[in-house]
Chains A and B, each alone.
Chain A
Amino acid sequence: EDQVTQSPEALRLQEGESSSLNCSYTVSGLRGLFWYRQDPGKGPEFLFTLYSAGEEKEKERLKATLTKKESFLHITAPKPEDSATYLCAVQAPAGSYQLTFGKGTKLSVIP
């Protein structure tokens, strides 16, 4: 059974204080690993797809990396508007778009 574990559950940062969120996964035949941002009461917003170990992607202050067992979402010099829950998901079986999500990391950036 596919499993995704995110840590920490919650993270409070001062504005400008860089940090990383972790996503550990167990899946047979990873097709892709996804990062989403979710604001309260809204649908997840797509950020990145990573397909193979060693791959990296960047978007503004966010950088996602992937190894064979985990992914990191690095946040550089965060701003209060980066406050949200960040979700990690994996996709495994061929022919299906099914995503298995972790519980998320709730990030709060304090001015």
Chain B
Amino acid sequence: ETGVTQSPTHLIKTRGQQVTLRCSSQSGHNTVSWYQQALGQGPQFIFQYYREEENGRGNFPPRFSGLQFPNYSSELNVNALELDDSALYLCATEGQGALEQYFGPGTRLTVT
């Protein structure tokens, strides 16, 4: 049990729409990272938040944005959805070890 939860489990959206995905972790986890995993690929780093500030970003356009809240929850927002945004979206927080990250179960987003 990682203590990381994500909602919703599945989501279907239409091209051009906007979507918000949510992640919650146990108290004391100051860092949250978001990843996109396309079918048959490894997860790709989107961005990371540390104490409510963005602290690193991967090669994703500005229509991917995020927020981290004082209660250790986080949101990933994607505007102007494209078909290629269909993927499993994962959030991760730091684990017990110095560098470890524990992942949530993911949100499966389908864009039609």
A residues lining the B interface (CB < 8 Å) = 4, 31-32, 34, 36, 41-46, 49, 87, 89, 91, 93, 95-104
Contact = CB atoms under 8 A, between A and B. Distances in A.
Nearest to A95: B55
Contacts of A93: 56
Interface residues of B, number: 32
B104 A97 contact: no
Contacts of B105: 42-43
21 contacts: A34-B99, A41-B88, A41-B106, A41-B108, A42-B105, A43-B4, A43-B6, A43-B104, A44-B103, A45-B103, A46-B2, A46-B100, A49-B97, A91-B99, A96-B56, A97-B31, A97-B94, A98-B33, A99-B35, A99-B101, A101-B44
Contacts of A49: 97, 99-100
Contact of B106 (A32, A43, A89): A43
B90 A44 contact: yes
B45 interface: yes
A49 B108 CA distance: 27
Contact of B42 (A45, A89, A91, A96): A89
Nearest to A88: B42
A97 B108 contact: no
Given A49-B100, A97-B99, A101-B42, A43 B90 contact: yes
Contacts of A102: 42
A81 to B, nearest CB: 18
A44 B43 contact: yes
A89 B102 CA distance: 13
A91 B98 CA distance: 12
B44 A97 contact: no
A22 to B, nearest CB: 15
Nearest to B102: A46
A93 B45 CA distance: 13
Contacts of A42: 105-106
Given A34-B99, A103-B42, 9 more contacts: A43-B4, A43-B104, A43-B106, A45-B103, A46-B100, A49-B100, A93-B56, A99-B35, A102-B42
